[in-house]
Structure 1
């Protein structure tokens, strides 16, 4: 975990998956933003929220890649709520240590850079699944269910929210269309 003294102030959190549609905290302000050097990918096994140890699901993670970029939403935490939000985010996002916290530089529509907290996949963690094809991802997501519900629900909510705010993600759109056709 990043020491609280090294976190950006004001505290912005980068949402690229479920934080987009279920941040779990009151958002004081939000801005569409881009993170360079990473892409959004279903590259982390989920053994808690969207799958089980016996039948893991997949969740999105920021995966580092040269030349990549990820569009998402920067969510500003209301002043005074930072300590409680950090506790809740860490409980949610660091449940199995497959993510680590990072302070990243985002760019908004006006291209002004600012710092935010992000949760990035640890490529050395056993839950990292970076080599799966889209078809393999679809097969896993179609049948997984965890403590927060079906894996398809996570995919559909994320894909729908991205489309609603005008962010194009071809891989998520393909996965959502593929699995909606099976339903």
Structure 2
């Protein structure tokens, strides 16, 4: 089997995984944002703002990540399906998710102890811990994808196609 026949299934699986995780994160962060907006029962404004930033990261990933596999599948707009476009998207997404995951982790002090929290009547402990966990999981997958695309970029350069070349060789 050729290199490109190995790449395609893994490529689509990668984008499905980051999309599913982003949708989970979108659900949690949207629910928390809705509660914070209606009840104003957040621990601090920094926590509220960091949840909103993770909502932005989730929307970013949910709406932009499906574009790349669709373009590759349809074979259109080669500049958007290029190695360079993948590098830019994954790098920007990686920075967003690293920032969001680190910010919510710092805000929660590394995670909340839900037994302590229930004694002191703080709310949304499980949801905040899940938000933090899925943010880090998304970041890990984006890191792996970014490293993989860097390897593909190096191979594209060796083939003489450069970064404007297709993500999957023909």
TM-score normalised over the length of structure 2: 0.28
* Higher relative contact order, chain-length normalized (CA < 8 Å, sep 6+): 2
Choose between structure 1 and 2: higher helix proportion: 2
Higher radius of gyration, 1 or 2: 2
TM-score normalised over the length of structure 1: 0.27
